[in-house]
Amino acid sequence: MAERFEIVEKALLAMLEDKKYATLRDILVTMNPSDVAGLFGGLEEKQIPLMFRLLPKEQAAETFVEMEPEAQELLIQGFSDNELKEVLDELYVDDAADLVEEMPANVVKRILKHADPEMRSSINQILRYPENSAGSIMTTEYVSLRPHMTVGEAILRIRRQGIDKETIYTCYVTEKDRTLTGIVTVKDLLLAEDDEAPIEDIMLTNLIYVTTQTDQEEVARMFSKYNFLALPVVDGENRMVGIVTFDDAMDVMEEEATEDIEIMGGMMPSEKPYIRSSPIDLFKNRIPWLLLLMVSATFTGLIITSFEDALAAQVALTAFIPMLMDTGGNSGSQSSVTVIRALSLDELKFRDLGMVLWKEIRTSLLCGVVLAVCCFVKIWLVDFLLLGNPAITLRVDLVVCMTLAITVVIAKMVGCTLPLVAKRLGFDPAVMASPFITTIVDALSLLVYFMFAKLFLHL
Amino acid sequence: MAERFEIVEKALLAMLEDKKYATLRDILVTMNPSDVAGLFGGLEEKQIPLMFRLLPKEQAAETFVEMEPEAQELLIQGFSDNELKEVLDELYVDDAADLVEEMPANVVKRILKHADPEMRSSINQILRYPENSAGSIMTTEYVSLRPHMTVGEAILRIRRQGIDKETIYTCYVTEKDRTLTGIVTVKDLLLAEDDEAPIEDIMLTNLIYVTTQTDQEEVARMFSKYNFLALPVVDGENRMVGIVTFDDAMDVMEEEATEDIEIMGGMMPSEKPYIRSSPIDLFKNRIPWLLLLMVSATFTGLIITSFEDALAAQVALTAFIPMLMDTGGNSGSQSSVTVIRALSLDELKFRDLGMVLWKEIRTSLLCGVVLAVCCFVKIWLVDFLLLGNPAITLRVDLVVCMTLAITVVIAKMVGCTLPLVAKRLGFDPAVMASPFITTIVDALSLLVYFMFAKLFLHL
């Protein structure tokens, strides 16, 4: 399907080049706004307004929302006041607020000037909430009903008000002072047997809601737990102020997973998608961790320096340093990555530390023993017999393999503990992934290595 | 909110202990099934059926779906035939299919025996589709309409049939032979001005659908792109066979992100959540990569061995091996992780390789130069002046820093290329993350290091 889509894309762009506007328009109107927005990515700057003006009003607005910020800015700069107003009128409030956040100051000024007063005040309200809070991702447009309305009246109200609402399928029952008292779905309304029944008889009252301050990650987790279409957002006095819809929760889930993955990869979380990040952006996200980890490797260097004599006496030992360090790093990051993901999905808490340690000790013993045995055989077969390295003695082999087993156990202990401790202390556990663990485990594994070497090789 | 919930949880379990069943039941009926299912996690085996029987029929079934497989199996084993039938009757077909997949053979036999014939055939149909395909996660229950129906007739049909459908909000317009011809939402129906208008006049005909064979990852991406509530699934002849709903797509998104993270962490993807994985499960997922990477570190060892004389002559060089290897590994995994995530989100394709390389070359030069300069100063200040290591000469410092800069560039080139190549060859790009990249970069950085050492230190 994706391949077929690329062919269609090329054909459409060719039509634009050839000025076959009528045909192009006839095809565009049948397309989904997300796909139309995708087309704009392949256009030259001057073609963007040209194609945009081919779209009918409503589709134009829906397409606009899905476009990249660069193209949106370009369009707004070129819009007449009237065109801008038309697009803004079609936007949902949360999309308008996102737009305002992305645009430079002069564009924002123009947007706010042409938004109708109600939308302007809603945008300002949403923008006041802390970044990554439920308040900042909610929309203020929802269907509200009163407890004493009948089912029939409620359906009528939805039919009259629904057109401007992002979702009509979940309706919120509020008192006069906007206190949230119940939830009723369109399914409940349509399937209700008695049109005269009051809403309060059929509404759900075991309310699950978030406050404007709830972290968006928590919001996304609630969606994946409860499978809701929308979640009500209330203020400190339990008054209804907006809703978060499932599509925004999906975006948050995706963003949060990306952020975790970036942090685990030893980077600062990015602001933009990779394609739109400049080398300077990438540099800024990556250099802090690289510098920090480079400097902290000084300790590992010190350990090696202080055992310099031992290494000089038995140079063969050096050859196994990378294998020991890498295996330690890999073992540690396996545990830390697993624990970090379980924390992100809310499957683990700090109080589970004992259970986690016990599980990881047994796992690491299994891994450590199997690895040590395989390593012992491998060194004997490959390094000694096959490659005929005379420096490899049975004792050297033993020292390497014992170090390996112990390193794996230590690495897994460190790897599973640090993310839980970080979480407990209020840091992001994802920081405790591979790069960080590797640095610690490197130092520990070398210490064990040289200790064993001194003990068993009498260096 | 989570903390408050734990207190409630404890209070409820205490009521069960004290046999205050009536009070407990009164509270349970007000709770969301997902939360009730959570309670069962804290129960002893014999308490599970006891509390389950307190729930009213519909809530019992909804709770059952959300429970862990262990508890489900325990309950089914203890159910009378009648109880089993009651629970099965309330399940949606896709949940029933999931259940059948999780249970051992004897339980499956009992389930299929007591499911009504229609459900039995639907379950069998769903189970026949390949794992991770749209067919395997769809449900066969959806509202279908005919093109010639009027809006009024359609609403009536929904009111009559809706109760058993997982979603009524998106309805599918099909011909007599089940060919999908249009989509109409309940919003469109409710907001339609003319109750007598035929469905074909208001339905959407730019159909976006998947086939039974479409990969579930692609399905999830379509949800996040188009923000649909449900996506129709058709067979090879464009006949409607089922729908995938947004909540299942969210689960897939979460699963796929977890799988990517696990593979990037050097593990096989897990079948169960961490809490339910035994040490043997964890061992099996982790040992293959550890073994593979341990053995492949042989090459790194060989490189060191073949430069043994150089190292013996200049032991100070050994101390910088960990720093060079780690920085290389970190730089490489930054790039690979970024590219892997962009591939997962469908932001990159193989044909973007040139763009990616150009971006990464510039980024890596920036990172490499900054790191090299900082490293040079650090070695001079810390290792030479502060720690007074006489073996550190200006030349040694230069060799280390030049190696560092070049390693960073190589690591980022390798890191960004391998995932794209893997994708092109049909492998999972996530395999090309840290552990794999580290092993390759280790060998390359050591080669560069020793080459420079030979060249500039005349070893």
Residues B387 and B303 in one domain: yes
Cβ contacts of B319 on chain A, cutoff 8 Å: 301-302, 304-305, 308
Q: Nearest C-alpha of chain A: how many angstroms from B440?
A: 11
Q: Output the six-digit token pair for A41.
A: 């990515």
Torsion angle (degrees, nearest 10) of CA B32, B33, B39, B40: 170
Asked if the structure places residue B419 within a domain, the reply is yes
- What is the predicted pLDDT for the residue at B421? 92
Asked if the structure places residue B266 within a domain, the reply is no
* Mean pLDDT (whole number) for A81-109: 85
Amino acid at A57: K
The DSSP line for A401-455 is: HHHHHHHHHHHHHHHHHHHHHHHHTTS-GGGGSHHHHHHHHHHHHHHHHHHHHHH
- What is the predicted pLDDT for the residue at B11? 84
Residues B187 and B59 in one domain: no
For the beta carbon of residue A108, count every other beta carbon within 10 angstroms: 17
- What is the predicted pLDDT for the residue at B4? 59
φ and ψ at residue B388, rounded to 5 degrees: 60, 40
Asked if the structure places residue B256 within a domain, the reply is no
Cβ contacts of B186 on chain A, cutoff 8 Å: 169, 186, 190
Residues B90 and B173 in one domain: no
For the beta carbon of residue A59, count every other beta carbon within 10 angstroms: 18
Q: Are A302 and B366 inside 8 Å of each other by CB?
A: no
Domain boundary among A128, A160, A182: A128
Q: Please name the member of B30, B254, B366 whose beta carbon is closest to the beta carbon of A279.
A: B366
Query: Among A97-106, B139-148, B199-208, whose mean pLDDT is lowest?
Result: A97-106
DSSP state of B319: G
Tell me which chain B residue has its CA closest to the CA of residue A362. B279
Residues B351 and B452 in one domain: yes
Residues A285 and A384 in one domain: yes
**CATH for A372:** 1.10.357.20
- What is the predicted pLDDT for the residue at A342? 92
The CA distance from A284 to B373, in Å, is 16
Using alpha carbons only, give the angle A275, A276, A281 rounded to the nearest 5 degrees. Answer: 110
Q: Which is more confidently placed, A14 or A369?
A: A369
Residues A315 and A429 in one domain: yes
Highest mean pLDDT among A21-25, B120-124, B390-394: A21-25
Residues A25 and A162 in one domain: no
Is B419's pLDDT higher than 90? yes
* Mean pLDDT (whole number) for B434-450: 87
Q: What ipTM does the predicted assembly reach?
A: 0.83
Residues B319 and B343 in one domain: yes
pTM above threshold 0.95: no
Domain boundary among B198, B214, B249: B249
Q: Are A290 and B327 inside 8 Å of each other by CB?
A: yes
Model confidence band, residue A335 (pLDDT cutoffs 50, 70, 90)? very high
Domain boundary among A103, A128, A153: A128
Which of A318, A339, A440, A445 to mutate: most B Cβ within 10 Å?
A318
- What is the predicted pLDDT for the residue at B198? 94
Condensed to tens digits (0 to 9), the pLDDT of residues B218-273 reads 999 899 888 889 999 998 888 999 999 998 899 899 888 999 888 888 888 888 88
Condensed to tens digits (0 to 9), the pLDDT of residues A350-368 reads 889 999 999 999 999 999 9
Condensed to tens digits (0 to 9), the pLDDT of residues A140-187 reads 889 999 999 999 999 999 988 877 787 889 999 999 999 999 999 999
The total of structural domains in chain B comes to: 3
Tell me which chain B residue has its CA closest to the CA of residue A38. B225
- What is the predicted pLDDT for the residue at B88? 85
- What is the predicted pLDDT for the residue at A1? 46
Residues A204 and A308 in one domain: no
**CATH for A182:** 3.10.580.10
Residues A149 and A113 in one domain: no
Residues 6+ positions from A358 with CB-CB distance below 8 Å: none
Q: Are A224 and B251 inside 8 Å of each other by CB?
A: yes
Q: Are B366 and A326 inside 8 Å of each other by CB?
A: no
Asked if the structure places residue B254 within a domain, the reply is no
Q: Output the six-digit token pair for B212.
A: 């039974």
Q: In the predicted model, what is the mean pLDDT of chain A?
A: 88
Tell me which chain B residue has its CA closest to the CA of residue A211. B1
Q: Please name the member of B367, B438, B439 whose beta carbon is closest to the beta carbon of A287.
A: B367
Tell me which chain A residue has its CA closest to the CA of residue B253. A254
- What is the predicted pLDDT for the residue at B3? 54
Tell me which chain A residue has its CA closest to the CA of residue B332. A265
Q: Are B311 and A318 inside 8 Å of each other by CB?
A: yes
Query: Among B1-15, B285-299, B301-315, whose mean pLDDT is lowest?
Result: B1-15
User: Of all residues in chain A, what percent carry a pLDDT higher than 90?
Assistant: 31
Helices marked H in B308-393 — which ranges? 308-313, 321-344, 353-378
Is B2's pLDDT higher than 70? no
The packing angle between helices A279-306 and A434-457, to 10°, is 20
Model confidence band, residue B310 (pLDDT cutoffs 50, 70, 90)? confident
Domain range spanning residue B89? 2-128
φ and ψ at residue B185, rounded to 5 degrees: -100, 160
Q: Are B325 and A325 inside 8 Å of each other by CB?
A: yes
Q: How far is CA B224 from CA A160, A252, B159, B407, in A?
A: 29, 10, 30, 38
The CA distance from B211 to B220, in Å, is 13
Q: Output the six-digit token pair for A200.
A: 């309060």
Residues A327 and A423 in one domain: yes
Residues 6+ positions from A368 with CB-CB distance below 8 Å: A404, A405, A406, A407, A408, A409
Q: Are B190 and A168 inside 8 Å of each other by CB?
A: yes
**CATH for A115:** 1.25.60.10
Residues 6+ positions from B187 with CB-CB distance below 8 Å: A162, A168, A169, B169
Burial class (CB in 10 A: 0-12, 13-18, 19+), B5: exposed
User: Of all residues in chain A, what percent carry a pLDDT higher than 70?
Assistant: 99
Q: Output the six-digit token pair for A296.
A: 């902290």
Q: Are A315 and B320 inside 8 Å of each other by CB?
A: no
User: Of all residues in chain B, what percent carry a pLDDT higher than 90?
Assistant: 30
Residues A16 and A156 in one domain: no
* Mean pLDDT (whole number) for B275-294: 89
Considering only the C-alpha atoms of chain A, give the largest distance between any 2 of them, rounded to a whole number of Å.
94
Q: Are A321 and B323 inside 8 Å of each other by CB?
A: no
Condensed to tens digits (0 to 9), the pLDDT of residues B26-56 reads 888 888 888 888 888 878 888 888 889 889 8
Model confidence band, residue B1 (pLDDT cutoffs 50, 70, 90)? very low
* Mean pLDDT (whole number) for A405-427: 93
